[in-house]
Structure 1
Amino acid sequence: MVTFDSTLPGTSAEAWEADGRLARLPALSLDGIESLVVVAAHPDDEALGAGGLIAECAARGIRVLVVTVTDGAASHPSSPSTPAHDLAARRAEEARTALAELAPDAGILLLAHPDGSTLELRETIAADLARAIPATGPSTLLVAPWSGDGHRDHRIVGELCAELAATNRLRFAGYPIWLWHWAEPEMEDVPWDSFVSLPLEPAAAGAKHRAIAAHVSQVEPLSESPGDEALLHPRFLANFERRFEVFVQEPTTLGADYFDAMYARRDDPWGFESRWYERRKRAITLAALPEERYTNALEIGCSIGVLTADLAERCDALLSTDVSSAAIESAKQRLAASPHVRFETGDVASSFPDGRFDLIVLSEVGYYFDAVGLDALVDAVAEHLAEGGTLLACHWRHPVADYPLDGDEVHVVLAARLGLERVSRHLEKDFVLDVFNSDGRSVAERTGLV
């Protein structure tokens, strides 16, 4: 585990800014979030690591709850002026004052476990967090200290919250605090591939600044006596004056709850029917199919069935699947007059449909899987694709914080793992479309023109 001395200045905010990568991070998505739970290992973690997020969510009408695990009484173990019990009371009041700056209507729960006791009280803390945090699925965003932050209490609280998020299907992100102090941008310990950022409106940035200042016992000396020095060095605090916050989101396959929540809010979350971008992309997709008709086709991730309806006109039999039951119900209604189209609800990475297909369509779905899940899916596609069959894959290329992979990564895996020849490619700034086949023949070759 990383060790560091918090009394030293540490890495400067200018060094992180000069690296350049912080300015190019994908965005932390708040789409579909109805409640935010911020867990802090100590009073002040919530303001430093997620104060802007709290303020942004409050401004958007998202419910906010802050849970602080320890009492923070060990911040000044050698203080000649302030006994531990007095410091604990003071820090609790500072936490309430800080939260009032960020989100006046937010709830706060101070568990008040002894500072530094998280390892010994791990099971008790886990039970307390399970009781405090509602199991409301992916409409709740749970954030906690990043487990790689180099502080034992941060590691344990972060691990417990990640486990709870996985159990209850909550969206989860970790916030680094001490990383900015002990690490340098080029170090391997910095999780650049998992970083996402949340831009802060001026009001949220200002609220965060005031909230950090409200933790007076940490940013100012308790007295002029040795042992009462300010814990947080000004050079360290400069890392929290950015106009954005950085979180760590480890990629995981998105499940049915995530998509059902999307469809519960909007009938057509991605604008398949309303957006010219989507209508044009469908036309390109259909034009890219090398055969005029297919005998037995499979569409993975059919959503509400808009592309399904177009595919149905060129297939004798079509099986369309989606992990979301809400999406499947909508697609069934759309294709009610097409008896040759069947629908199944399920995760194709773990339970691939039986049969062999001369066409498999993987459109805007591959990046929802993590690397292990995508490998399993690609292997299943290769196994169930009929001799001479075609795989068409089409994916958005821009990064999305919620998605474990991006479109380009999906197509790299397809090309490397399928063992098929790529017979055509359409590449734009926004999306990539590839057609794979085992025989490699062009449309002109298939139709006898050459």
Structure 2
Amino acid sequence: MREIALLAAHCDDIAIGAGGTLLSLAAAYPGLRVRALVLSGGGTARADEEGKALESFCPGADLELTVLELPDGRTPAHWAAVKAALGELRRGCEPDLVFAPQPGDAHQDHRLLAELVPTEFRDHMVLGYEILKWETDTPRPTLFCPLSPAIAARKVELLFAAYPSQHDRDWFDEEAFLGLARVRGVQCKSRYAEAFVIAKAAMTFGGV
């Protein structure tokens, strides 16, 4: 594992959906290259939060983050800008894994990004992360990343430290984050886990 790409519509999506997995990857692969793109929040305090958050979730990584200024909740009206940003990121990296919203996400910003990612990252393993929220769009995941209790707790600790702007949200609490992680852990015989949706995967045997 040399390089990963992190894609999100909003600041905090990546950390909520894959924060534990990122902590695990950073520990397993020191010096991992991380190229991240977030569509909204540029030029605001949210972008500063995101930068500090990803540094915490990817300690020791070679991190590059771009936060655009597209309007929150209006991403489908900026299809061309999203497509162009993904294309620019793709030309500058060759990731072993791509993290993006899962394609069944009910939020229009997440869903558009999920639909466009495979048009640019056509030969890559794309892991669609889930974001627990008001909509009942929790997916049936196909890949699980088991998390130790220490990693699950560290994820929650970092979420609260990195995103003070979200503390007043009714869904932003320890019970919600650990509750979903516990459910996913049950589904893969682990204490905690994060889960992802894979639309397509290829396996090669024998060094072909």
With normalisation by structure 2, the TM-score equals 0.79
Would you say 1:107 and 2:107 are equivalent positions? no
Aligned counterpart for 2:27 among listed residues 59, 76, 84: 59
Alpha-carbon displacement from aligned partner over 1:72-130 (angstroms, at most 9, x marks no partner)? 8xxxxxxxxxxxxxxx6221111122112211333222123221221111111111111
Is 2:59 the partner of 1:123? no
Match of 2:8 in 1: 40
1:152-200 per-position Cα deviation (integer Å, ceiling 9, x unaligned): 001001111122222xx1111111113x6543xxxxx7543x4211012
Whether the 8 Å CA contact 2:102–2:129 is kept in 1: the answer is: yes
Structure 1 position 212 matched with structure 2 position 159: yes
CA contact (8 A) 2:104 2:139 kept: no
Check whether the contact 2:130–2:138 (CA below 8 A) recurs between aligned residues.
Answer: no
One-letter amino acid of the structure 1 residue matched with residue 143 of structure 2: V
User: 2:188 is matched with which residue?
Assistant: none
Bigger drift between 238-247 and 122-131 goes to 238-247
Give the SS at the match of 1:113. Answer: coil
Change beyond 3 A, Cα 1:50–1:151: same
Cα distance between partner residues in 2 of 1:45 and 1:113? 15
Aligned-pair distance for 1:134? 4.7
Amino acid at match of 1:209: V
* Equivalent residue, structure 2, for 1:173: 127
- Structure 1's 231 and 125: CA in aligned 2 closer, same or farther, altered over 3 A? farther
> 1:223-250: CA deviations, max 9, x gaps?
xxxxxxx353535444455421010112
Larger Rg: 1
Q: Specify the SS of the correspondent of 1:91.
A: helix
Q: Distance in 2 between matches of 1:69 and 1:114?
A: 8
Equivalent residue for 2:45, pick from 74, 90, 96: 90
Q: What is aligned with 1:49?
A: 17
- Aligned mates of 1:240, 1:91 — CA distance in 2: 25
1:155 to 95, 111, 133: 111
SS at the partner of 1:128?
helix
Specify the code of the residue in structure 2 equivalent to 1:94.
Answer: E
Deviations for 1:310-368, whole angstroms, at most 9, x for unmatched residues?
A: xxxxxxxxxxxxxxxx63xxxxxxxxxxxxxxxxxxxxxxxxxxxxxxxxxxxxxxxxx
* Cα pair distance change 1:209/1:241, threshold 3 Å: farther
Residue 15 (structure 1) aligns with: none
> Which 5+ residue runs of structure 1 have no aligned equivalent?
1-32, 73-87, 184-188, 222-229, 260-269, 271-302, 304-325, 328-450
Report the counterpart of residue 164 of structure 1 in structure 2. Answer: 120
Q: Secondary structure at the match of 2:38?
A: strand
Moved runs in structure 1, 4+ residues, more than 6 A?
A: none
- The answer (yes or no) to whether the contact 1:140–1:170 under 8 Å persists in 2 is yes
CA RMSD of aligned residues (A): 2.6
Higher RCO (Cα < 8 Å, 6 or more apart): 2
Using the alignment, how far apart are the partners of 2:179 and 2:6 within structure 1?
20
Q: How does 1:293-442 map to 2 (within 5 A)?
A: 303=206, 327=208
State whether structure 2 residue 147 is matched by structure 1 residue 200. yes
Alpha-carbon separation, structure 1, partners of 2:144 and 2:180: 13
Aligned residues: 193
Specify the alignment match of 1:245 in structure 2. 194
Partner of 1:446: none
Is the 1:99–1:211 contact (alpha carbons within 8 Å) kept by the matching residues of 2? no
Rounded Cα–Cα distance in structure 1 between residues aligned with 2:153 and 2:176: 18
- Cα offset for 1:203? 4.9
For residue 56 of structure 1, give the secondary structure of its aligned residue in structure 2.
Answer: helix
Task: Give, as a single letter, the amino acid of the residue that structure 2 aligns with 1:156.
Answer: L
8 Å CA contact 1:43, 1:68 repeated in 2: yes
CA positional deviation for 1:205: 2.5
Show CA shifts across 1:244-284 (max 9, x none).
101011235x2xxx63xxxxxxxxxx7xxxxxxxxxxxxxx
Q: What residue number does 2:185 align with? A: none
Unaligned runs of 5+ in 2: 183-191
Contact (CA 8 Å) 1:56, 1:201: kept in 2 or not?
no
**What is the TM-score of this pair, normalised by structure 1?**
0.39
**Distance change (3 Å), C-alpha of 1:47 and 1:154:** same
User: Does the 8 A contact of 2:181 with 2:194 survive in 1?
Assistant: no
CA deviation string 1:397-439 (max 9, x = no partner): xxxxxxxxxxxxxxxxxxxxxxxxxxxxxxxxxxxxxxxxxxx
Which of 31, 38, 61 is equivalent to 1:68?
38
1:143 alignment partner, SS class: strand
Q: 1:136 deviation in Å?
A: 5.9
Change beyond 3 A, Cα 1:207–1:171: same
